[in-house]
């Protein structure tokens, strides 16, 4: 070990890096875990959120000057001039990563999602199948603590039960479910990494209703939980460390990782192998920043595919007014899915969708809109009460196909506080996705009419904060960045794990699949 600081250097302490560090340290590996951000104090974050007027995804979390993140109000500040607020994938740089502010929803991919081209003639196939990943889905559900109905696989065959029973449907979910049954539609609880009972040292959900952007009691899984386990097993955690360059020798082996600390000082680490477990945006950014005379296009980029095939779920939320009270807001923000739209022969023509009922009541947004109209001030409380009791939401997340023109590039003219170039995003939504958007919005409008409710508005965003695909997995080095074992085609000791390796994204929230891929990689590395 004289020439190395560690066996495995993992960059990124989100769910992928945390699980990998925990597994490898338990197996006796000497592991270093680098994280650009810092720790989050849950109590302080909760107080910060309570005091915020604009309760967006970033509201509970301190911004770290040395590790900037996207701004929900000013997307161009991070992503450059070609994006607007309809495409602004947000993420956190912190120990635990974006699992601090996620919804906790954990459906598995469907078997057809791994073979989209074979089934429907669109997109590409993964180099692995659902059956290859299924055992690791089981391990991921155990690690994250997923609550779900074990008798209801929701299209994804299971070899083991969920660790916990499902979170019960809310009053509003049950009311809407009863009305939609008349259309032959079934409503079921989502599987979620949210405790329905005490589990793994975390309490049961108490229905605080702020899952996004923060569970105040830690009933919803966040990856700092597994970072702490990894540290107890021997992982050396280095926070406030911004990796900015990977250095490779002539044989392609990564021998040195360069990082900066908040004081702008440069540091290096040497490792036998390196794993990139950053998010989709930052992984591509790091690889592109690592270009030199031997790798002028960046590390792992002989194919030119690094940063390309960027995907995200298009999301819409349709707001309706029900005649009878529905009392949304009791319990978690998102519990129920409407079981239609995720798969079928229609995928030959247009995108699939995961439909959901929102149990969120955005009181401060309702009040802000009322206060925008001075003539409503005298009756503001009665108007607010009316909205809080009668307003409901049905939405959908819609798949996007890979497109090499949807990409991340570096902008040398926009350095961050450490002098590193910020990413510029080029993104457009495909006709396949837009046709799906139209179909599923029309379907939701029919549901609302069937419930004898009044449709008020339907808001569309081209990002669900699920960016994927910028270092995709594949068997062909000419069209992919990593192989089926997440090893870089160009570098024998470089591995990558996260949503960025997804060849396609289906309709499932990505976190559970990221966790399963990380545990699969851990087993592969341990076997090596």
Integer angstrom CA distances of residue 55 from 45, 69, 417, 458, 510: 12, 17, 26, 21, 24
- Residue 401: its pLDDT value, please? 97
Distance CA(195)–CA(1), nearest Å, equals: 42
Q: Is 117 exposed, middle or buried (0-12, 13-18, 19+ CB in 10 A)?
A: middle
The DSSP line for 48-84 is: HHHH-SS--TTTTS---TTS----SS-HHHHH-TT--
H/E stretch holding 325 reads: none
Distance CA(498)–CA(493), nearest Å, equals: 17
Integer angstrom CA distances of residue 527 from 8, 28, 175, 458: 14, 13, 51, 50
- Residue 383: its pLDDT value, please? 79
Distance CA(194)–CA(200), nearest Å, equals: 11
Integer angstrom CA distances of residue 279 from 16, 62, 99, 126, 496: 9, 19, 11, 20, 10
Integer angstrom CA distances of residue 218 from 91, 194, 330, 477: 19, 9, 18, 42
- Residue 387: its pLDDT value, please? 80
Go through the domains of the chain in sequence order and give each one's CATH number.
Answer: 1-147+199-310+411-425+467-528 (3.50.50.60), 164-190+314-398+428-461 (3.30.410)
Integer angstrom CA distances of residue 338 from 42, 112, 129, 288: 32, 19, 26, 41
Q: Is 73 exposed, middle or buried (0-12, 13-18, 19+ CB in 10 A)?
A: exposed
pLDDT along the chain (528 residues), means of 10: 84 98 98 98 95 86 95 93 89 97 96 98 98 98 98 96 96 96 96 97 93 95 98 98 96 96 98 97 98 96 98 97 92 94 98 95 75 78 83 96 97 97 96 98 98 95 96 98 98 98 98 98 95
- 466 annotated active-site: yes
Average confidence score pLDDT of the chain: 95
Distance CA(304)–CA(404), nearest Å, equals: 10
Distance CA(508)–CA(105), nearest Å, equals: 9
Residue identified by tokens 């601090």 is 100
- Residue 1: its pLDDT value, please? 40
Contact 238, 35 (CB under 8 A): yes
Q: Which of 466, 489, 491, 500 is catalytic?
A: 466
- Residue 213: its pLDDT value, please? 94
Distance CA(441)–CA(158), nearest Å, equals: 31
Contact 463, 274 (CB under 8 A): no
- Residue 86: its pLDDT value, please? 84
User: Which of 348, 455, 468 lies closest to 397, judged by CA?
Assistant: 468
Distance CA(451)–CA(386), nearest Å, equals: 18
Instruction: Name the token pair of 115.
Output: 């073979």
């Amino acid at each position: 070990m004289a020439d190395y600081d560690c066996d495995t250097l993992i960059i990124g302490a989100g769910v992928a890096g945390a699980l990998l560090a925990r597994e490898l340290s338990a197996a006796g590996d000497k592991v270093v875990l680098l994280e650009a951000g810092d720790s989050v104090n849950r109590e302080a974050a909760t107080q910060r959120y309570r005091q915020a007027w604009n309760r967006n995804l970033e509201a509970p979390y301190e911004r770290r000057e040395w590790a900037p993140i996207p701004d929900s109000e000013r997307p161009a500040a991070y992503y450059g001039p070609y994006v607007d607020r309809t495409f602004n994938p947000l993420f956190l740089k912190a120990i635990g990563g974006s699992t601090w502010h996620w919804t906790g929803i954990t459906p598995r991919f469907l078997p057809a999602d791994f073979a989209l081209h074979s089934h429907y003639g669109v997109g590409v196939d993964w180099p692995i199948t659902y059956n290859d990943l299924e055992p690791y889905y089981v391990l991921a559900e155990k690690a994250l603590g997923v609550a779900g109905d074990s008798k209801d696989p929701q299209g994804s065959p299971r070899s083991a039960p969920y660790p916990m029973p499902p979170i019960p449907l809310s009053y509003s979910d049950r009311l809407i479910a009863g009305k939609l049954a008349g259309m032959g539609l079934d409503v079921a609880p989502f599987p979620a990494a949210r405790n329905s009972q005490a589990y793994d040292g975390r309490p049961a959900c108490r229905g605080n209703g702020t899952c996004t952007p923060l569970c105040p009691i830690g009933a919803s899984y966040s990856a700092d939980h597994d970072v702490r386990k990894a540290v107890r097993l021997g992982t050396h955690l280095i926070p406030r460390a911004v990796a900015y360059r990977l250095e490779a020798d002539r044989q392609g082996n990564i021998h040195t990782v360069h990082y900066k600390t908040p004081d702008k000082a440069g540091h290096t680490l040497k490792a036998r192998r390196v794993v990139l477990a950053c998010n989709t945006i930052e992984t591509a950014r790091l690889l592109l920043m690592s270009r030199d005379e031997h790798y002028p296009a960046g590390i792992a980029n002989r194919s030119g595919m690094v940063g390309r095939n960027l995907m995200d779920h298009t999301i819409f939320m349709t707001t309706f007014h029900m005649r009878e009270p529905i009392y949304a807001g009791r319990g978690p923000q998102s519990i129920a899915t409407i079981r239609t739209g995720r798969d079928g022969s229609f995928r030959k023509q247009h995108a699939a969708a995961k439909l959901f009922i929102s149990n969120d009541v955005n009181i401060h947004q309702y009040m802000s809109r009322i206060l925008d109209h001075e003539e409503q001030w005298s009756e503001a409380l009665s108007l607010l009460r009316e909205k809080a009791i009668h307003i409901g939401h049905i939405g959908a997340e819609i798949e996007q196909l890979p497109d090499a023109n949807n990409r991340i590039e570096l902008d040398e003219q926009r350095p961050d506080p450490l002098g590193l170039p910020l990413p510029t995003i080029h993104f457009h939504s495909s006709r396949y996705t837009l046709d799906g958007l139209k179909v599923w919005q029309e379907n939701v409008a029919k549901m609302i009419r069937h419930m004898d409710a009044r449709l008020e508005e339907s808001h569309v965003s081209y990002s669900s904060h699920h960016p994927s695909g910028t270092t995709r997995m594949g068997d062909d080095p000419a069209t992919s960045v990593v192989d089926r074992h997440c090893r870089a085609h160009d570098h024998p000791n470089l591995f990558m794990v996260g949503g960025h390796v997804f060849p396609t994204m289906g309709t499932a929230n990505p976190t559970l699949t990221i966790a399963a891929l990380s545990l699969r990689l851990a087993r592969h590395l341990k076997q090596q």
